[in-house]
Amino acid sequence: MKLGARILKTGIAIVLALYLSKLLHMPVPVLAGISAIFAIQPTIYRSYRTIVEQLQGNLIGACVAVVFVLFFGNHIFIIGLAVIVVISINLKLKMGNTITLSIVTTLSIMEAQQGNFYAFAFIRLSSVLLGILSSFLVNLVFIPPKYETKLYVRISNVTEDILKWIRMSTRHVSERTLLKKDIGDLKNDLSQIEQLYYMFKEERGYFLKENHVKARKKVVYRQMLITTRKAFETLKRIHKYEHEISMMPEEFQVKLLYQLDCLIRKHEQLLLKYIGKVKFSGHVYSDCVSDECLSRENLLALFYGRDSGIEDQELGARLVPLLSAIMEYDEQMEHLEKLISSFQTFHKDDNEVYLPPEDVD
């Protein structure tokens, strides 16, 4: 079993909340421990946003609980009605994430009180807020994971799998059943990378220069993800129209194979170029053999030109979605190349990705 950073942070936050509660002689330390669970977040920015939302949500729960106890008492039916009101207010204010902890605060205040009600309510609310504060402190002290490195590695690995399947599919050596299953897995991987990108996007630097560099990195990584998705769409189209491609003239198939191989090499070089494994020399496309790399205009002529060799026009028409996917893939990759070249021109010393040893080889 692998213990992630969030699991460890949750455990430490609970310990800290319980310890501070006993240190401050809080009557119900468990409330602080429960609230600490809900406030742990993977990034500092999310932690800050959560503590603000939870503070607002708990004040709503506390205010509703106090009003209901003062005017209606704390009968079990009154408690149920108060909870409904708390949920409704949170939803109305679009604060759905705070509903659970708001209800905990409401229930803790409306249960059988001891002594002065106002003091009782304040102590219970303080216990909940102490747990939220404990989680925030843990998030600040513990260094968040390097999302940039994780993001690059995930994009690189998934892209490598996609390009591998494109190579195999264009040579008709792929197993269709296995490829179909892998397409589903790759789709899930891309969704996970999307979430990881949002984690990276939410990270904040401490200096203005860091934020400026980070803003440009966000654009580059977003385009990396878009380009990988276009490669994935191309793979799906190749898989879908594999039979139609095999029925095309042999010369057409050879040119299509060369074009896809060239695009694959370009994509691989761009990923290596970003981490400095390919020297910056103005234009990465020059590394490919020019007569193998068709422009988008020439690719269109390959399908519909006079010398295309396609006699069955209906068959050629069915391959329009494939042609569209290849052209979009090429276009997005060209945009990615411009972004990476521009980034390395102005931020040459800020584009390092620290890979673990197993990812360097």
How does pLDDT run across 106-150, given as a tens digit for each residue? 888 887 666 677 777 788 788 888 888 888 888 777 766 677 888
pLDDT at 189: 92
pLDDT at 311: 57
pTM of the entire structure? 0.69
Q: How far apart are CA 242 and CA 326, in angstroms?
A: 14
Confirm if 55 and 168 have CB atoms less than 8 A apart.
no
Going along the chain from its start, the domains and CATH numbers come out as: 5-141 (no CATH), 147-360 (1.20.58.220)
One-letter amino acid at 304 equals Y
For the stretch 286-312, pLDDT in tens is 444 444 567 777 777 776 655 555 555
Closest CA to 262 of 238, 231, 232, 294: 294
Q: How far apart are CA 63 and CA 57, in angstroms?
A: 10
Q: How many CA atoms lie within 13 A of 95 on its CB side?
A: 26
Listed range (215-219, 225-229, 345-349) with the worst mean pLDDT = 345-349
Q: How far apart are CA 241 and CA 237, in angstroms?
A: 6
Number of neighbours of residue 64 by Cβ within 10 angstroms: 23
Mean pLDDT of 158-180: 85
H helices of the chain, in order, are 5-23, 29-39, 44-72, 76-92, 99-110, 117-141, 147-170, 176-202, 208-240, 242-246, 250-274, 296-304, 313-318, 320-346, 357-360
